[in-house]
Structures are given as structure tokens and as C-alpha cells.
Amino acid sequence: MVTCKRIEFFVKKTKVVGNLFIPKNQNLDKYPGLFVGGPMTSVKEQVTGVYAEALAKYGFVTLAIDHRYFGESGGEPRQYEKFADKILDIKIAVDFLKKRAEVDENLVSLVGVCLGAGYILAAASEISDIYRLVAVAGYYRDIDEMKSKNMDDFADKISSGTRARRYYDLTGKILTIPAASLTEEAAMQTKDTVEYYTQRAAVQNYKNSFAVMSREFFTRFDVQSYAKKTIHPFLMIHSKNALSPHWADRFYKNVKAKKTRQFIDTIGQTDFYDDTVIVDRCVQYISKYLQLPALSKSINVE
């Protein structure tokens, strides 16, 4: 049995809203904790909530949040994908988890899906007492390669973000484009991501919108730079048909910490988000990787 509690905490005086999933097992007073980070612009009712609820059934206290500027959480400008702020949200969320009475503060791990993998890896590089890290279908952005392939486009995106941010500073108005679309300029333009955000996961709390000013900083978010900063045990779950598998290979090769990897056959990236068979396999891999033997024996999966 799993219960879900709506929780709130504050980051720089801005309210962050999340869902905390708590397992019920009479044999345990405390459980290992998990923060689940997700793709850009996503909210807690989408992929992070799917994994958080599923992993709670395996005996983890799990937390999925709306980052600042998104969903039910506060903060302006809205739909602002600023990676430094998301990293800070995660660090505060981890502190929140560790202070929960149900959580063993020595067994708090981070799980990230898609770009959430980059965010949790970046946050973990600034937190010493994380138990383990898991990245599912990570989007391991390689800035050097992006520049080498199209430096003009890279620079143009940064410039457009800077102009949009200056416009916001002057007028208070947020210039936006769709987060996902195949028919106009958008932050995400693959068929499966558009289907996911505009159809399969078009929940009420989600807004298909991306603040153009995000590009000023987001464009320069180099996930590859965190490979050598990864010091905690690390599990990578990926697919040859997920986003940029060669970037995943490059990242994994450069991680010096204890590491392991699992491959799953998928059609594309978003199979990892809501395909029940794929999600179940991932959750089983994650649970096995994070569970202590004594704990595993006491958990009854429903």
C-alpha cells in the first residue's frame, strides 16, 4: 500500500509543491528515500510521478515536484527552464527528504529521467552524502559537439534567450514558444515527445510552453561535464533508440565512480515515460540496484 501526500517547501522564499509517496510496511520504521527528476518543462503528474509512485511500491519514500516556475509551484517568469535554479530545487528537496521521519537519511538516492538525469547528476556533484544515482534514458547534452556541428545555431539560441530576458526585464512580458510542436518553432520537435506532451501526458497541471529566455542559460547546460564529477555509485539505463545514445556512451565511459548499465529495447525516448512494460522493467532494475538485501526481504510489492 502506498499513500500520496501533497507537500510544500520553499526555495528562496518561493513555494515548491510536490507529491510525496510513502509505502506502508509494518516491519519498517524508516525507508530509503528517492528524489525523482524529470524532463524539461515537465510536472509531477507526468513521468516523475509515474516513477515515484511505482518505486514507492518497492519500499521507497519518493518525491516528485513541480520545479519553480512550473505547474503548481511559484516563481516568475513562468515556464523558465533555468538549470541552475532546478539544481538548487533538487538540493533543497533532498534536504527535505532527509528530514522526513519516514526516511533513513543515510539512504537517500536520486533518480533522473531524460534531462532530469543531467539535473540530478549536477545536483549530486554538490551533495556529499547521496547513497546512489540512477539515470533513465538520460539526455547527456554535449556542448562541445553541439558547437562543432552548428556554432551559428548555438550562438543564435543564446542570443535569442538574452534578448528575451532583457525584454522581460524591461516590460515584465514573457516571450514563449511551445515546449513541444512539429508545426512551429518549439523546444522539443520529435514526434514521440510531441505526442507525449500534447496527447498522452497533457494533464491539467502541464502547460505546453517554453520561455524563450530559458535559452540564455539552458543552451550552455553541459551534462557531459558532470561525468568526472560523478562520485556516487551510478546506474545508467538506456536504449539505442533513446536520445543521443552516443552521448550516453561517452558519459558512461568518463564516469570514474563505481558504475553499471542496463540496456532496454524501445521504439524511442518517451517509451521510458509511460509504456507500462518499459517502466516496470526500469523500476525493477532501479529497485534491485538501490535495495539493501535485508530491506528487499521485507517488502511486499502490490
> Would the pLDDT of 112 be above 70?
yes
What pTM was computed for the model?
A: 0.95
Read off the pLDDT of residues 35-56 as tens digits, 9 standing for 90 and up: 999 999 999 999 999 999 999 9
Question: Residue 210: helix, strand or coil by DSSP?
Answer: strand
Torsion of CA 116, 118, 120, 121, to 10 degrees: 160
Read off the pLDDT of residues 141-153 as tens digits, 9 standing for 90 and up: 999 999 999 999 9
Mean pLDDT over 73-102 rounds to 97
Q: Which helix (H) or strand (E) holds 13?
A: none
Q: How confident is the model at residue 275 (pLDDT cuts 50, 70, 90)?
A: very high
Question: Over the chain, what is the mean pLDDT?
Answer: 95
**Quick one: pLDDT at residue 287?**
96
CA separation for the pair 139, 113 (Å, rounded): 8
- Check: CB of residue 274 under 8 Å from CB of residue 47: yes
Closest CA to 117 of 72, 51, 200: 51
**Quick one: pLDDT at residue 1?**
86
Amino acid at 39: P
Mean pLDDT over 22-27 rounds to 80
Strand partners, 63: 20, 35
Q: How confident is the model at residue 26 (pLDDT cuts 50, 70, 90)?
A: low
Closest CA to 60 of 278, 292, 230: 292
**Quick one: pLDDT at residue 29?**
83
CA separation for the pair 87, 121 (Å, rounded): 9
Which three cell numbers mark 28?
Answer: 519498517
**Could you tell me which residues come within 8 angstroms of residue 226 by beta carbon, excluding any fewer than 6 positions away?**
118, 121, 122, 125
Read off the pLDDT of residues 167-223 as tens digits, 9 standing for 90 and up: 999 999 999 999 999 999 999 999 999 999 999 999 999 999 999 999 999 999 999
> Would the pLDDT of 301 be above 50?
no
